[in-house]
Amino acid sequence: MPTLRKPYVIFLADVTLASDAKTGFGLRDWCGPDVIGECRLPQGTVSLGLPALRPQEAAVAGAGSLVIGVAVVGGQLPHAWLPPLVEALDHGLDVVSGMHTRLASFPELVKAAARGGGRLVDVRATDRVLPTGTGIKRPGKRVLTVGTDCALGKKYTALALTRALHAAGARATFRATGQTGIMIAGKGIAVDAVVADFVAGAAELLSPANDPDHWDVIEGQGALFHPAYAGVTLGLIHGSQPDAIVLCHDPSRQTIEDYPHVPLPSLGAAIDRYLESAQLTNPDVRCAGIAINSSSLDEPEWLAYQSRLAAEFDRPVCDPMRTGVDAIVQQLLQPRRPRPQ
């Protein structure tokens, strides 16, 4: 993937659901100094709380790239978004996309890039040759974030775990598996764009053999309980061979987002299913904690909910943005007891 030109202006298009703008929120929260503004269409209601900049204003302000900060279901890029993208290219900005649709498939964008000198950068492109999974155990330690649903904190939890592991003196690397994570880390593999047979192999390639005390913190994707995206989740689990999982959950949800006919599993059932799936390639996998997106809870509600879950599951319960994840990191760094023979 080519080096991305910073600083960024985030294009929020016409989205009205905050979870559809998770790429924009992720860049704002984890690449703050590199993000100078936002741009949206009149129909859009989601804001990152950043200065509003039209593409021409962004160019004058010194922006390098207009980044599509939206990840909608299906990953298609609507034609209604093209005018501001063309404007950005005409003023010399790069356009960076994490959508499935290739930017170069739009002649208008190709012509505008040629006129203005900007680049079309597809972060989700997977043209490289990938191997199939082997299931062979490799050295190093790995923790994978998993979830009861999509877009509820797996990336934030993985980034917070990486930061906390560093603070604890451990060696750790964030391994990006989605478009936002790749934009933050500067490298990775967008596993949801990988042909199904090679998802596990891509995960093995992403988290290769390493020193015994080094942690790869692997960003989870999808959910085992999602009727559309469970397949990519399972391949990522098998290829990651996690030594530990961290379950991510949003207590405000009762059903899979955008799928009201699909109820969420209980947390206990979710942990059991994830551990069962992960045991195929790592029989010693464990659940090191639960990460909660508690943004819908006030402080007393959060404290009561956290206390109840910690007692029920006998595991650390954290909100990466509210409390940090030090308690989960302490679990990761504790020596494991040998498994009974």
Using alpha carbons only, how large is the chain's radius of gyration in Å? 20
Question: At residue 40, does pLDDT exceed 90?
Answer: yes
Residues 6+ apart with CB under 8 A from 33: 7
User: What pLDDT band is residue 73 in, cutting at 50, 70 and 90?
Assistant: low
Q: How far apart are CA 285 and CA 241, in angstroms?
A: 8
SS3 call for 97: strand
Burial of 273 (0-12, 13-18, 19+ CB in 10 A): middle
Q: How far apart are CA 102 and CA 20, in angstroms?
A: 19
Q: Set out the domains of the chain in order of their start, with CATH numbers.
A: 8-122 (3.40.50.720), 141-333 (3.40.50.300)
pLDDT (0 to 100) of residue 56: 94
What are 107-164's pLDDT values in tens digits? Answer: 999 999 999 999 999 988 777 789 999 999 999 999 999 999 998 999 999 999 999 9
Helix (H) or strand (E) holding 172: strand 171-175
pLDDT (0 to 100) of residue 71: 80
Q: Are strands 255-256 and 259-263 parallel, antiparallel or unpaired?
A: antiparallel
And the tokens for 233? 């989740």
User: What pLDDT band is residue 59 in, cutting at 50, 70 and 90?
Assistant: very high
Whether 161 contacts 143, CB under 8 Å: yes
User: What pLDDT band is residue 75 in, cutting at 50, 70 and 90?
Assistant: low
And the tokens for 200? 């596990």
pTM: 0.87
Question: At residue 287, does pLDDT exceed 60?
Answer: yes
Helix (H) or strand (E) holding 309: helix 299-313
Whether 244 contacts 226, CB under 8 Å: no
Sign of CA dihedral 97, 99, 100, 103: negative
pLDDT (0 to 100) of residue 64: 96
Q: Are strands 286-292 and 317-318 parallel, antiparallel or unpaired?
A: parallel
Cα distances (Å, whole numbers) of residue 267 to 44, 97, 201? 34, 34, 29
What are 290-320's pLDDT values in tens digits? Answer: 999 999 999 999 999 999 999 999 999 999 9
pLDDT (0 to 100) of residue 3: 79
